[in-house]
Each structure stands twice: as structure tokens, then as C-alpha cells.
Structure 1
């Protein structure tokens, strides 16, 4: 059975995108990371929010990597949105609600992980009790503002159990199970 994994690179102060969704800060922190390379092989489908899907791409200046999750992953994408485009996109399914999106993504993942991309979709999955794991690459930079990894107005306490910690030249990788 496929599991849901939220993965992101974040700044040390907890931002995964800069102000306005700017991802340009990430480019200099992308580099060799054997843990991420292994993770990419474990992903069978992507569940992504509309804002992230249509947002800034840290690989936009590299024609071989642009538009691909992790700069190299290729497979089925499920975009959670209430505003699907009129023209279909190959390999992309636009889905209007979380339950339908998760069910379809898990079926397409074929027992591999469904990788969740986007802070809002990850928050929705957490609130619905659907998220199984969190994988975060912590980049050695402070952004000061932007899109937080997890934002829940009024606060909440989501318990996590660390299951792995590895080092890469440009990040510290942390993997947690949602308890």
C-alpha cells in the first residue's frame, strides 16, 4: 500500500519558498544528495497543490531539469485544484478534492510513495490524518520570510518520530514518521 510522504527543502528558519513563492534561493543549495537520489527511486506519484504546480521552478534555467520534480523525476502528477485548465496536460490529472486526489495518486503509485509537494496540501493531508512521513532537507540559509514548511494559525502539536538523519554537502536531511 502506498504511503504519503511530504518532502521539501527548507531554510534553517523554516521557509520552503521565499516571499511570493520565490524558489530562486534554492538553486545554490541543490547539489549532490545521495539520500534524495534514493528517495526519488521510491516515488510512484506526485500529489501537488495548484500554487506549487504553477509556481516558481528552481530548475527553470536548466532545459533538461525544468518542470520536473526534483529536476529528474518523471511520472504521474495529481494536482489538487478547483480550477482545472481547459486543455489537458500529459501525465497530469487535475482533481478537485483531497480524498479523490489521494485515492487516485495512491493507485497510480503502485505501492511506492506518493510524494506530497506544497505546504497547503501537506497541511490538509496532516489534518485529515493521511500523511505518513515527512522528509526535509534543511539548507544552511536564513530567508526571514516566505512560505513556511508548516503553518497552522492558532498552533497545533503534530508529533513526529525521527527515523533518519543524514548529511549531504549542501543540506542536512531529516526523515520523520507522523505519530
Structure 2
């Protein structure tokens, strides 16, 4: 059975994007530095590449917040992972949208999007994109695992990841360190 996994890069001060997120800077001011580890060019970059490849191999479907979809569609050139079905959480539903890379975007409410994504993922994972939708899913008890790529960067302000949400997180394995520290936690059921 698939798991719903929040897999996210976060600054040391808890932000997933810098301030002033918008079309010109979808990751906000300085936020692009949160994903530089994925290139493998930093110290121990081979470790980072291996972590990224393992995440990519597990993706069976994606749940995306509406704002993340709006800002990311042009950059992705289709769904965030080619050919992978993506479910956009929104109150403004619309017809499905075929991505340019073989994937399809479906638009639905929170619980329906999570359920449909799990069905579509089969035995792979459902990844969550977007801090707001991640908080909503966590609050609804719909996230099974949290994977944080802790980036040695202080943004000072921006989009906080866990603003106001509470959960007990149980470590899954030891931290893995490349140019960033990769942490995995299972969300304890209340």
C-alpha cells in the first residue's frame, strides 16, 4: 500500500521558500538555494544524488497545493515527475489537464485528492508538494511520513513549513549527510 510522504527541503530556520514568492521568484528571495543539493555539486554530493534518486524511484503520484501548481506548471513543463499523475488540492475544480510530459493533473478537495493519489500510486509513494497543503494533510491525519532535507541556509523569513501544526514524529533510520542533512520520520497515529 502506498504512503503519503511529505518530502521537502527546508532551511535551518524552518522555511520551505524565501520571502516574496511569486511568478518571477517561485521559491521566493533566496529560496532557490533550498534545492541546490539536488545537483550533487556540494560536499559529499554523491550522497545527495543517491537520496534524490531513491525519492524519485518511489514516486507513484503527487498531491500538490493549488498555489504550488500555479507557480510550478510553467517550470515543470507538465507534471513534476514525467508521466506521474498529480492531484491538485483546490476549491476551484476544473477538468483534468494533460501535462506536456505524459502526466495528468486532476483537481479535487483535500481528502479526495489524497485518496485518489493513493489509488493511482499503487505500491509506490504519494509525494506532497506545497507547505500549505502539507499542513492541511498533516492536520487531517493524512500524512504517513515526513522526509526533510535540512539545508544549511538561514532565510530569515518566508514560507514556514510547520506553522502551528503538531505531530509526534518517529525517526526512521539514521540521518544521512551529504551537503545537506536528510532526515526521515514516520508520523505517529494519534
Length-normalised TM-score, structure 2: 0.78
| Distance (Å, rounded) in 1 between the aligned partners of 2:71 and 2:166 | 29
Q: Cα gap change, 1:31/1:82 in structure 2, threshold over 3 Å: closer, same or farther?
A: same
Contact 1:134/1:176 (<8 A) preserved: yes
Partner residue, 1:144 = 156
Tell me, yes or no, if structure 1 residue 162 matches structure 2 residue 178. Answer: no
Matches within 5 A, 1:1-179: 1-21=1-21, 22=28, 23-32=31-40, 33=48, 34-55=50-71, 60=75, 69=80, 74-84=83-93, 88-90=97-99, 91-152=103-164, 156-164=165-173, 165-168=175-178, 170-179=179-188
Contact 1:18/1:25 (<8 A) preserved: no
Deviations 1:37-94 (A, max 9, x none): 112101100101011112258x95xxxx76663xx65411111112345683332333
Helix, strand or coil: the match of 2:162?
A: coil
Helix, strand or coil: the match of 1:26?
A: helix
Q: Could you tell me which runs of 5 or more consecutive residues in structure 1 were left unpaired when the two chains were aligned.
A: none
| Distance (Å, rounded) in 2 between the aligned partners of 1:132 and 1:18 | 26
Specify which structure has the bigger relative contact order, considering alpha-carbon pairs within 8 angstroms and separated by 6 or more residues: 1
| Distance (Å, rounded) in 2 between the aligned partners of 1:109 and 1:56 | 21
**How large is the Cα RMSD of the aligned pairs?**
2.3
- CA shift for structure 1 position 29: 3.5
Helix, strand or coil: the match of 2:154?
A: coil
